[in-house]
């Protein structure tokens, strides 16, 4: 889906949805803590505002280090802890250049907030915030751990189940599952920024040159972003076809 065209009328909606003020939120952690939020991270499809057509979930986009090297992060399994429902056990893989690593760890929800007022009053909508820590295989050379904080948007659907909130998909600036933190080397203890998210990347500096959606700056295309840009080219060109194949490949 290409959303590079700026949709000005929806800009206000996007900002109002993603920048909720404190007087428009209520803490629902105690009430909602037993709900299963795992579908926010591993679901395959989601609805947008029309509720009639499902969209395929995209893979997160992310960067590693101060030079914005592209990193791929894929959650294979996210399971709620039955003893502590605010904790989720995570298994997944990352890819940095040609290096693929397995990780295991936890997502820990600190707070569940609900919006009092929003554009779709038929549904309960809100955000979960918390922290995460993922450990790579200690026996693998050059391994380490990921840790940081995250924010994810949810809604409760007609069946009273938690669902990935894609209601503002068509609006400029749409994002979800924003992970911001560091990767720490087991051997040296050195830290590197590592951020990722759906559709946009938190704190991405001058890497993101897009207005309505993520668009990598030309100066960083050689950091793994060339095929991301090429996939939006002329569909009849071999370069575009190849880029789309690479972008859709199940590398994990």
| DSSP track, the chain | ----S--HHHHHHHHHHHS--GGGEEE-HHHHTTS--THHHH-SEEE-TTSSSEEEPPPPEEEETTTTEEEEEEEEEEEE-SSSTTEEEEEEEEEETTEEEEEEEEEEEEEEEEESS-S-TTSEEEEEEEEEEEEE-TTSTT-EEEEEEEEEEEEE-TTS-EEE--TTTTSTT--EEEEEEEEEETTT--EEEEEEEESS-TT-GGGB--SSS--B-GGGGGGTTHHHHHTTS-TTSHHHHHHHHHHH----
Q: Are residues 204 and 225 in the same domain?
A: no
What average pLDDT is seen over the chain?
92
Question: CB–CB of 225/232 below 8 Å?
Answer: no
pLDDT tens figures, 19-61: 566 789 999 999 999 999 999 999 999 999 999 999 999 999 9
16 pLDDT tier (thresholds 50, 70, 90): very low
Q: What pLDDT shows up at residue 4?
A: 40
Q: Are residues 77 and 44 in the same domain?
A: yes
Domain that holds residue 232: 216-252
The predicted model scores a pTM of 0.90
CA neighbor of 133 nearest in space, from 184, 60, 170: 184
Q: What pLDDT shows up at residue 19?
A: 54
Q: Are residues 185 and 71 in the same domain?
A: yes
Q: Are residues 242 and 130 in the same domain?
A: no
Q: Are residues 176 and 68 in the same domain?
A: yes
12 has a pLDDT exceeding 90: no
Q: Are residues 169 and 67 in the same domain?
A: yes
Q: Are residues 148 and 199 in the same domain?
A: yes
Residues 130-136, mean pLDDT to the nearest whole number: 98
18 pLDDT tier (thresholds 50, 70, 90): very low
Residue 182 placed within a domain: yes
Residue 248 placed within a domain: yes
6 has a pLDDT exceeding 60: no
pLDDT tens figures, 115-128: 998 989 899 999 99
- How many CB atoms sit inside 10 A of residue 23's CB? 8
Q: Are residues 73 and 125 in the same domain?
A: yes
pLDDT tens figures, 144-167: 999 999 999 999 999 999 999 999
Residues 226-231, mean pLDDT to the nearest whole number: 98
Q: What pLDDT shows up at residue 22?
A: 75
Q: Are residues 141 and 241 in the same domain?
A: no
Q: Are residues 186 and 248 in the same domain?
A: no
The domain total for the chain is: 2
Residues 176-185, mean pLDDT to the nearest whole number: 98
Q: How far is CA 158 from CA 30, 31, 91, 121, 124, in A?
A: 22, 18, 30, 12, 10
Residues 204-225, mean pLDDT to the nearest whole number: 96
221 pLDDT tier (thresholds 50, 70, 90): very high
């Amino acid at each position: 889906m290409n959303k590079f065209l700026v949709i000005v009328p929806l800009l206000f909606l996007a900002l109002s949805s993603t920048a909720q003020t404190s007087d428009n939120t209520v803490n629902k952690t105690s009430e909602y803590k037993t709900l299963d939020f795992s579908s926010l991270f591993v679901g395959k499809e989601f609805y947008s505002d029309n509720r009639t057509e499902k969209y395929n979930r995209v893979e997160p986009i992310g960067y590693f280090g101060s030079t914005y090297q592209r990193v791929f992060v894929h959650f294979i399994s996210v399971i709620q802890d039955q003893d502590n429902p605010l904790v989720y056990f995570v298994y997944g893989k990352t890819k940095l250049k040609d290096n693929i690593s397995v990780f295991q760890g936890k997502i820990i929800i600190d707070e569940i907030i609900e919006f009092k007022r929003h554009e779709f009053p038929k549904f309960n909508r809100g955000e979960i915030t918390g922290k995460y820590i993922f450990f790579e295989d200690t026996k693998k050379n050059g391994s380490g751990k990921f840790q940081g904080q995250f924010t994810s948007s949810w809604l409760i659907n007609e069946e009273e189940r938690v669902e990935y909130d894609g209601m503002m998909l068509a609006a400029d600036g749409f994002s979800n599952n924003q992970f911001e933190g560091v990767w720490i080397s087991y051997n040296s203890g050195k830290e590197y920024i590592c951020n990722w998210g759906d559709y946009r990347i938190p704190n991405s500096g001058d890497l993101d040159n897009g207005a309505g959606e993520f668009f990598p700056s030309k100066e960083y295309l050689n950091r793994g972003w060339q095929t991301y840009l090429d996939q939006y080219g002329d569909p009849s060109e071999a370069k575009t076809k190849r880029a789309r194949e690479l972008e859709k490949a199940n590398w994990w």
